[in-house]
Amino acid sequence: MKNSTVTILSISLILGGILVLLGFATIDKAEKRINSIEILIVGAEGTQFLTPLRVREHLDTYGPVIGLIEKNIPLYEIYEHIMLIPSVQSANIYPTLDGELHLNLRQKNPKARVHSELEGDYYIDEQDKYMYLDEQYTARVPIIHAKSYEDALKGIGFIDATEGDAFWSALIDQIIVDKKGGLELVPRIGSRIFLGLEQDPDIQRRNLITFYRAQIKSGNLKKYARIDLSYKDQVIAKRHVY
């Protein structure tokens, strides 16, 4: 009987201790305040639209976060505020047990900048979605001259089809989408290159390289203003008119 009483008392003391600890933990959690902010950015390799400093400065325009009681943090409001940065693709925001607020962000990356007389200038990102220009950073990407977003996607299609191709990458500086949907390249140097409505990058590259080699050999390459690759088995070149 005595042993049973001791056992019951021991269990009661242990349970009491656990309840006290839980009580302190509950009080501690209820009073836990944010004491620091950790910002992690993914996908910013090569383009620096987002930096921890910029995100922190933008967060400061929301209002003070340091010192807020953890349970009262308006996480969704902070999320909406962070998503106002044009180059943020997604955000995951959460507090940790040690009072640190984590902002894990993924950056958008543009494939091209679109210049449209009707729609103004904007980017098209890696998901082929509309992306606003950024006030603090300009990406070095090809420029597509097109009437509309839908027309600009035709230029994006050629960029996608030639991704990883060093020859085309060296040539593509600007792409003009004409009224019929045909594509024309404006290289960094040299003649304009008309690709036409249907593009076959491999065949057109072969034809263009053959043409370049022949004209370099004869010394006539600089005489041409426009090279037409829209025909499958031939290259038509238009000379400069002086």
Q: 214 and 232: one domain? A: yes
Residue 86, Cβ density class (10 Å: 0-12 exposed, 13-18 middle, ≥19 buried): middle
Instruction: Say what the pLDDT of residue 22 is.
Output: 44
3, 18, 22 from 8: Cα distances, Å: 9, 15, 21
Q: 167 and 128: one domain? A: yes
Q: 128 and 235: one domain? A: yes
Regarding beta strands 120-125 and 130-131, do their DSSP bridges make them parallel or antiparallel, or are they unpaired?
antiparallel
Q: 62 and 120: one domain? A: no
111, 158, 200 from 188: Cα distances, Å: 17, 17, 21
H/E element, 5 = helix 2-31
Q: Which of 201, 174, 199, 203 is nearest to 189 (CA)?
A: 174
- In angstroms, the CA 154 to CA 235 distance is 22
Q: What are phi and psi of 106, to 5 degrees?
A: -115, 130
Q: 95 and 158: one domain? A: no
Q: Is residue 176 part of a domain?
A: yes
Asked if 224 contacts 237 with a C-beta cutoff of 8 angstroms, the reply is yes
Q: 182 and 114: one domain? A: yes
76, 81, 89, 155, 214 from 169: Cα distances, Å: 41, 37, 26, 13, 22
Domain count, the chain: 2
Range of the domain at 234: 110-239
Q: Is residue 18 part of a domain?
A: no
Query: Facing residues of 69 across strands?
Result: 33
Instruction: Say what the pLDDT of residue 29 is.
Output: 54
CA 85 to chain centroid, in Å, comes to 12
Q: 157 and 233: one domain? A: yes
Across the chain, which has 242 residues, the per-10-residue mean pLDDT values are 50 50 48 90 84 93 91 93 93 93 94 93 94 89 96 96 93 94 91 92 92 81 86 84 66
Instruction: Say what the pLDDT of residue 106 is.
Output: 95
Instruction: Say what the pLDDT of residue 31 is.
Output: 75
Instruction: Say what the pLDDT of residue 228 is.
Output: 93
Full 3-state SS string of 96-149? CCCCEEEEEEEECCEEEEEEECCCEEEEEECCCCEECCCCCCCCCCCEEECCCH
pTM for this one? 0.77
Asked if 101 contacts 93 with a C-beta cutoff of 8 angstroms, the reply is yes
Give the CATH number for residue 232.
3.40.50.11690
Q: 228 and 119: one domain? A: yes
The CA-based angle 29-32-33, given to 5 degrees, is 155
Q: 224 and 150: one domain? A: yes
Asked if 39 contacts 107 with a C-beta cutoff of 8 angstroms, the reply is no
